[in-house]
A and B are shown apart, each in its own frame.
Chain A
């Protein structure tokens, strides 16, 4: 599976937008970009995915670079409940397992 690189941690103020970056320079043309998050003491939670175009859902937005070598997860208004570890993962077209890296620990300050 192609690898991703994320910052170890980020901090945000409550009610402000958060941009979580992810580099995936070895991405192949058929890899999907997935984001998951894990809140303390809970199972991982699917957030969003994309292939080439930017995507929006009720939880977040995903901005994908034109060359697809990087992407950014955008939380439009961070809340205390968004404090979690965020994982950026590439999935092959017929892939199955998720390969979790260390992710980005997001801390939200009130």
Chain B
């Protein structure tokens, strides 16, 4: 059973460009979460999605960030018009539908904005 997959592992974007981060959950998992870890800071929740639905986006910045988890295909975290402050490690996690809802994390995408 393959783990959570994220790609790309490293992404370099210039200021003003768009970044698209992909996450494929573990087989059988229908819950996906995105977290961000800024340099020298802790992990912060961004958004929680189930297939075709955003359940909790309380941690998402109000502008430029969006997430989706379509019926088919991976979950996508999209950052428009990136700025240097978006440079961080972005981790995706997936979880089964049953309690206690343990989460399994991917290796992360390290975004660098130049």
The interface of chain A, by Cβ under 8 A from chain B, is 32, 34, 36, 38, 42-46, 49, 51, 91, 93-103
A49 touches B100 (CB 8 A): yes
A42-B107, A96-B33, A97-B59 known; A49-B42 Cβ under 8 A: no
A93 touches B105 (CB 8 A): no
| B29-44 interface bits toward A, Cβ cutoff 8 Å, 1 = contact, 0 = none | 0010101000000111
Rounded to whole Å, the gap between the CB of A36 and the closest CB of chain B is 8
A37–B24 alpha-carbon span in the complex (Å) = 21
Q: Is the interface of A mostly helix, strand, loop or mixed?
A: loop
How many A-B residue contacts, CB cutoff 8 Å? 61
Q: Could you say which of B31, B102, B104, B106 has the most chain A C-beta atoms within 10 Å of its C-beta? A: B102
Residues in A with CB closer than 8 Å to B105 are: 43-46
B48 touches A32 (CB 8 A): no
B56 at the interface (CB under 8 A from A): yes
A96–B48 alpha-carbon span in the complex (Å) = 7
B80 at the interface (CB under 8 A from A): no
B100 touches A34 (CB 8 A): yes
A51–B99 alpha-carbon span in the complex (Å) = 11
A97 touches B33 (CB 8 A): yes
Rounded to whole Å, the gap between the CB of A35 and the closest CB of chain B is 10
A49–B4 alpha-carbon span in the complex (Å) = 20
Residues in B with CB closer than 8 Å to A97 are: 33, 45, 48, 56, 58-59
A103–B35 alpha-carbon span in the complex (Å) = 16
Residues in B with CB closer than 8 Å to A32 are: 99-101
Partner among A38, A43, A94, A96 whose Cβ is within 8 Å of the Cβ of B106: A43
A34 touches B102 (CB 8 A): yes
B45 touches A99 (CB 8 A): yes
Partner among A43, A93, A94 whose Cβ is within 8 Å of the Cβ of B107: A43
